[in-house]
Chain A
Amino acid sequence: MKPKRHLPAARDLIIIVPWFWLALFFLLPFLFVLKISLSEPALAQPPYLDLIREVEEGLVTIMLNFGNYQLLLQDPLYLSALLGSLQVAAISTVCCLLIGYPMAYAIARSPAHWRLPLLMLIILPFWTSFLIRIYAWIGILKGNGLLNNLLLWSGLIDAPLEIMHTSLAVYIGVVYNYLPFVILPLYATLIRLDLTLLEAAADLGCRPWKQFVLITLPLSLPGVLAGAMLVFIPVMGEFVIPDLLGGPDTLMLGKLMWTEFFSNKDWPLASSLAALLLVALIVPFVLLRHFERKAEERAT
């Protein structure tokens, strides 16, 4: 019995490390942000008032300012920025999956000695700075850029296409940049798929297309979900790509947050935006986990 009693203690000890890490680098900064979001802006350094203020000698009050949240909920600008971010994140995630799934599938089904070089090609762009790659897209998409010149030269178009500073440019940049994040988890699930399952399905009367729909696709859903989260969550707060490639019509939370922080110097408002974004992201995923567990329990 003795070693059994020792085991949980050792396990707890190991779990403390990531908990401590998360508390120090995620929870604590978030509490700072939360604190700032509840304070009042001021022309000072830092540009907000402390929550705890000395009113008189020895008398201290805590002033919580919910005005920022009120403003966020009332001003339609912020709601449309949230919807804009949701739209860009959702459409980009779907595009990444539609492009990434066939690529991951092809790599997983290619001869064994091809897989590593192909995966290397997927990861290779990461060896260049993210910013440089986005600037490169400006060179490709702009009025007299690579793409327009190519299309003009080939005679497909008569006048240059206006892609730069539109939503289309943002989608191109986001999908390009986040594609590897869906391909890698999808590849990892597809390569583990037992191919005799497909033979079994064929044996029981499935044509190749139905084998894919009934066996491969449902069994690769964990990879689809992982890839979708890896795209959706960071794109919701994405700032650089919409700022460099997007135009005035591109309204996204990340861009707005940057404006509030650095142009308007309204740290409390920007912080409340950040807090709301976190809630907007966490709540659906907690619910998702909850329903997954429910479904698992029903199965057993």
Chain B
Amino acid sequence: MATLRQFKPEEPWQAPEGEPLVRIEKVTKRFGSFYAVDEVSLHIHQGEFFSLLGPSGCGKTTLLRMLAGFEIPTNGRIFIDGQDVTEMPPYERPVNMMFQSYALFPHMNVADNIAFGLKQERMPKGERQARVAEMLALVQIEKLAQRKPHQLSGGQRQRVALARALAKHPKILLLDEPLGALDKKLREQTQFELVNIQERLGITFIVVTHDQEEAMTMSSRIALLHDGRVEQVDPPRRLYEFPSTRYVASFIGSVNLFEGYVVQQDDDQVIVQCDQADTLLQVRHSQPLVPGMAVTVALRPEKMRLIGQITPDAPNQVRGIIKEIAYLGDVSIYHVELGSGKRVQFTQSNVQALAEQPLSWDEEVLLGWSANSCGVLTE
């Protein structure tokens, strides 16, 4: 049973009549015989914080560079605000980019770096100075206006790069690994700041990142790329809970994958026979599947819980022996070997400081989960 989602103002991609701000249509970029980007189509809407996520070499940076105008697509068209910009040079596009290396001009001070784009569009001096001051305040570096880039720390440079890219009030800000060069603490802090700035200015952000946590924290939607193709485009929650392919399921977070075949299909659930799990798997699923079809059942480690006993003939219950334990502080990860020899992961939050009877190696555990907390993957 498919639920019809109500359109919410913060989810513009749900509105059927809304014209997207960016339309990428069947864009391909070939370098020699290598397809960096392969028939990618994406619609990105005004006000989104959109992430292009994937491992290195998946084509995310090439896609971003085509939006900025540094690469021309081999095939396909790109539209921004209804205008075909496929072959428009970078200096005419209503977009600005924040570079991974920041690319600050070393011979200009911070204020001149920020004013650079404004001078190019011949903004009057008074207005320009006001805009620079506004940008300096936005990223909280008013005191650094007269410094040269080499006199700044990495975090400060990142702020200058952001201010410079935002100064022209572009329709779209492109960010190439914006937090990649920062250390972990600063990165987490800056993530929230980026989101705040984006919400305050209402400018559409398109971010390239290889860091799934970063993408999950900041994005309104994520496009997961793999070998130049889009695997899935969804809000972070849907991407995690309802991955559409095996690749997505295993790229985002940890997952246990069970290979099996369909034995029975009901209205809203499917029964999968799986030799690796010594049990029938019952999965909530609404799309029709043919009995006998090979499928994969994906189950997140945190969806499993310890059960007291195994009910005979009940689905989604397994018995196993703990082989490895990883204590991470907030959670513990257990590697459990099932009767078939298949290893699965399950996690438990460490609610109490020291559990009275913690699980230990070679202990037998019984695990169960509900049909709602796993999914069927056919690709």
Contacts and interface: CB of A to CB of B under 8 A. Distances in A.
B90 A219 contact: no
Chain A interface mostly: helix
A202 interface: yes
Contacts of B70: 199, 202
B109 A299 contact: yes
Contacts of A203: 68-69, 90-91, 95-97, 165
Contact of B164 (A196, A204, A207, A218): A204
A194 B120 contact: no
B103 interface: yes
A206 B120 contact: yes
Contacts of B105: 197, 200-201, 215
A197 B97 CA distance: 12
A113 B107 CA distance: 30
Interface residues of B, number: 26
Interface in A196-238: 196-197, 199-207, 210, 214-215, 218-219
Interface in B61-79: 68-70
A129 interface: no
Interface string B323-345: 00000000000000000000000
Contacts of A154: none
A199 B90 contact: yes
Interface residues of A, number: 19
Nearest to A210: B120
Given A204-B164, A205-B117, A197 B89 contact: no
Give the one of A200, A207, A300 with max B CB within 10 A.
Answer: A200
B49 interface: no
A202 B103 contact: no
A194 B89 CA distance: 20
Contacts of A204: 91, 96, 116-117, 120, 164, 168
A300 B103 CA distance: 21
B360 interface: no
B103 A219 contact: no
A180 B91 CA distance: 35
A218 B107 CA distance: 8
Contacts of B151: 300
Contact of B103 (A197, A207, A210, A299): A197
A207 B89 CA distance: 9
22 contacts: A194-B101, A194-B103, A196-B103, A197-B105, A199-B99, A202-B69, A202-B90, A202-B91, A203-B68, A203-B69, A203-B90, A203-B96, A203-B165, A204-B168, A205-B91, A205-B120, A205-B121, A205-B168, A207-B89, A210-B120, A299-B109, A299-B148
The 8 closest A-B pairs by CB, nearest first: A205-B120, A204-B117, A200-B103, A202-B90, A196-B103, A203-B97, A205-B91, A202-B91
Interface of A: 194, 196-197, 199-207, 210, 214-215, 218-219, 299-300
